[in-house]
Amino acid sequence: MNLAAAIHERLETLSPESIDLVDESGQHVGHAGAASGGSHFNLTIVSAQFAGMGTLARHRKIYAVLGPLMQREIHALAIRALTPDEL
């Protein structure tokens, strides 16, 4: 399974209405994180599970779901986490 598919699979636990995951690793060639094999992603995710949570809590929830992927495979993750009402 490739990394993007693994990320999508883990994010499904948040019951998202939508996930837009863009691999931006190619834009970071030569960057220290890219040199060590870490990937760069931009994520927009919409889930009712984010209701009542601030930005930091939403990001922490996503990091927890991604777990060990954040330790090795993902070097950078830009996150936009919204509830359906915020669209």
Residues 32, 50: Cα–Cα separation, whole Å: 32
Choose between 37 and 71: higher pLDDT: 71
The answer as to CATH 3.90.1170.50 being correct for domain 3-86 is no
The SS3 of residue 77 is strand
Residues 69, 10: Cα–Cα separation, whole Å: 10
* Rounded (10°) angle between helices 3-11 and 55-66: 120
pTM of the model: 0.88
Residue range 10-63, pLDDT digits in tens: 999 999 999 999 999 877 555 554 555 568 899 999 999 999 999 999 999 999
Angle (CA) 35-80-47 rounded to 5° is 125
